[in-house]
Amino acid sequence: MKGKVIENIAVIDIADKGQSVGRVNDLVVFMDGGAVPGDVVDVRIVKKRKGYLQGKITQFRQYSSMRTTPSCEHFGVCGGCKWQNLSYENQLQYKEKSVKDAVEKIGGFNPALVKEIIGSEDIFEYRNKLDYSFTHKRYLLESEMSEFERNDLQGVGFHVPGKFNKVVDINKCWLQDDLSNRIRLFVKDKALELSVPFYDAKAQSGVMRSLIIRNTTLNEWMVVVVFREDHDNVIQHIMSSIKDTFPEITSLFYMVNPKLNDTIYDIDPVLFNGKDHITEKIGDLKFRIGVKSFFQTNSRQAQLLYNIARDFADLKGDEIVYDLYTGTGTIAAFVSQKVKHVYGIESVPEAIEDAKINSDINGITNTTFFAGDMVKILTPEFIHSHGYPDVIITDPPRPGMHEKVCETIMQAGASTIVYVSCNAATMARDIKIMSDKYDLIKVQPVDMFPHTSHVECVALLTLKKQHETTG
C-alpha cells in the first residue's frame, strides 16, 4: 500500500492539525497538501496504520466551493494558518463540528449540548504576541533551489512544521498589526548590514537567535531581542537602532540565551528602554504583562471568553471560587467582584507574581494565589484549610488535567464547575472522568484563532442531585 497513488478521494473533513480527511473503503485517509472539504484529490500513501492511512496529495481533480484565495503569500509553507484557503464561515462550521465530535466520541455526551460557535470579529491582525526565529539558512521552496544567492539564505520567520532547524523567512505576516512586520524586517536588515551571523540550530552557533513582539489594545508594544552570545557592541548597536527607529515601542528588552533550547523562562531579561511591562485592558480591568507573562493571545476574544465563563458560573456574591491554572489571574480578577474569595493556583511562579500585581493594580483584595504543581497543591488538606469551593473554574493547558486533579475536584464537591479549554478532546476526556458526579449542561465554542484548527470552549458542569452534600 505504501507508495501507491489512490485517485479521486473526496475530502470530507479536516483533522485537528489541519490535515484533510477522506475515506477509502473502511479506511480513513489523513492527507497533507492543503485540501478542503469538497475537494477531490489523488493521494500517494506514505504510511499505513491500523484503521487509517497517511498520504500526500499529488493532484487536485476537483475544487470545492468552500475554497477561498489565501491572503498570505506564505500560505502552505509556514504552516501557521493552514485553514486560510477555507472560507471563514466554513472554518467556523468545521470547528464547531470538531467540538461536537469530541464531546460525543470521547466524552460520550449528547453533541446537542454544544452551542453554536461564536466567531471572531477580526480574522486578521488578532494576535498580541508573535515569536520569530533567526536562521543562517532559510527554508527554500523547490522553485528557489537553483535561483538564490548565498547572501539570500539568512532569514527571520517561523519554523516549518515538523522541522526544528528549518525556518521560513517571512515578508508579511497577517496575524499581528503591521508594525510587527516593520520591526522584524528592520532588525533583520540591521543585522545583515552589520554582518552579524544568524543562528545555526544544528551547529549551535551564530548571534541573532529570536525576536518576540507583543502588543496590546492600548497600543503598547514590547520587543525582546534574543541573542545567543553576549557581544556587547553588537547588542548596543542593534538595540539603539531599534529604539531610535520605533518610538512606538514602550518596552524594549534583550536577552542572551546560550543554551541548547529556546526556552527563556530561566533567563533574566535586560530592560534596554522604556517600562518593564506593557498593560492590557479587558473590560474595566487592567493587566500587567511582562516578558515571561502568559496572556490570552487574542485580547478581544479573551474578554468574550471570560464573560462567558463568568456567566456560566452564575455567581451570587458569597461564593468561594477556586481558579485552577490561573495564569496571570485574569479570570480570577474577572470574577472577584461577584464572589467572597478567589483562590488561584498556577505552576509558573512568574505568572503568580503577575497575578498578585494585577489584583493590586485593580484594587482587588479578595484573591489569594499559590504557585506550584497542581497535583501537589490542590489536595484535600488545601481544601480543608481554605474552605470547600462553591465554584471551580479550571483553564488547563492543551494536555488537560491530571487524573488526580479530576479526582480531587470531585472530592471538593463544588456545585458548579466551569471548564475553559483550548483542546476539546482533553476537555471531553476530563469531563467524562468526572461524569459520575457531575452533569455536563452545555459547551460554548469560541473562535480565538481564525485560519487555524484551534478552538476554545467553555463547558458548564453541575453537581448531580445525589451528590449535593456539604463538604
In tens, the pLDDT along 396-452 reads: 999 999 999 999 999 999 999 999 999 999 999 999 999 999 999 999 999 999 999
**Residue 172: its pLDDT value, please?**
97
Report d(CA 193, CA 468) in Å as an integer: 69
Between 57-66, 112-121, 138-147, 284-293, the lowest mean confidence (pLDDT) is in 138-147
Pair 418, 393: CB distance under 8 Å:
yes
Confidence of residue 49 (pLDDT cuts 50, 70, 90): confident
Residue type, 248: E
pLDDT in tens, 331-390: 999 999 999 999 999 998 888 998 999 999 999 999 999 999 999 999 999 999 999 999
**Residue 471: its pLDDT value, please?**
44
Residue 147: pLDDT over 60: no
Between 7-16, 87-96, 126-135, 236-245, the lowest mean confidence (pLDDT) is in 7-16
pLDDT in tens, 366-377: 999 999 999 999
Largest CA distance in the chain: 73
pLDDT in tens, 393-410: 999 999 999 999 999 999
Residue 65: pLDDT over 90: yes
All structural domains of the chain: 5-62 (2.40.50.140), 92-122+298-467 (3.40.50.150), 129-279 (2.40.50.1070)
pLDDT in tens, 78-130: 878 989 999 999 999 999 999 999 999 999 999 999 999 999 999 999 999 99
**Residue 470: its pLDDT value, please?**
46
Q: Which residues pair with 343 in a beta bridge?
A: 322, 368
| Residue 46: φ, ψ to 5° | -110, -20
Residue 163: pLDDT over 80: no
**Residue 291: its pLDDT value, please?**
92
Between 62 and 292, the more confident residue is 62
Residue 468: pLDDT over 70: no
Question: Average model confidence (pLDDT) for the chain?
Answer: 93
Residue type, 386: H
Please state, for a pLDDT cut of 70, what percent of the chain lies above it: 96
**Residue 404: its pLDDT value, please?**
97
Q: Is 406 a catalytic residue?
A: no
Q: What is the 3-state secondary structure (H, E, C) of the chain?
A: CCCCEEEEEECCEECCCCCEEEEECCEEEEEECCCCCCCEEEEEEEEEECCEEEEEEEEEEECCCCECCCCCCCCCCCCCCCCCCECHHHHHHHHHHHHHHHHHHHCCCCHHHECCCECCCCCCCCCCEEEEEEECCCCCCHHHCCCCCHHHCCEEEEECCCCCCCEEECCCCCCCCHHHHHHHHHHHHHHHHCCCCECECCCCECCEEEEEEEECCCCCEEEEEEECCCCHHHHHHHHHHHHHHCCCEEEEEEEECCCCCCCCCCCCCEEEEECCCEEEEECCEEEEECCCCCCCCCHHHHHHHHHHHHHHHCCCCCCEEEEECCCCCHHHHHHHCCCCEEEEEECCHHHHHHHHHHHHHCCCCCEEEEECCHHHHCCHHHHHHHCCCCEEEECCCCCCCCHHHHHHHHHHCCCEEEEEECCHHHHHHHHHHCCCCEEEEEEEEECCCCCCCCCEEEEEEEECHHHCCCC
What global pTM score does this model have?
A: 0.90
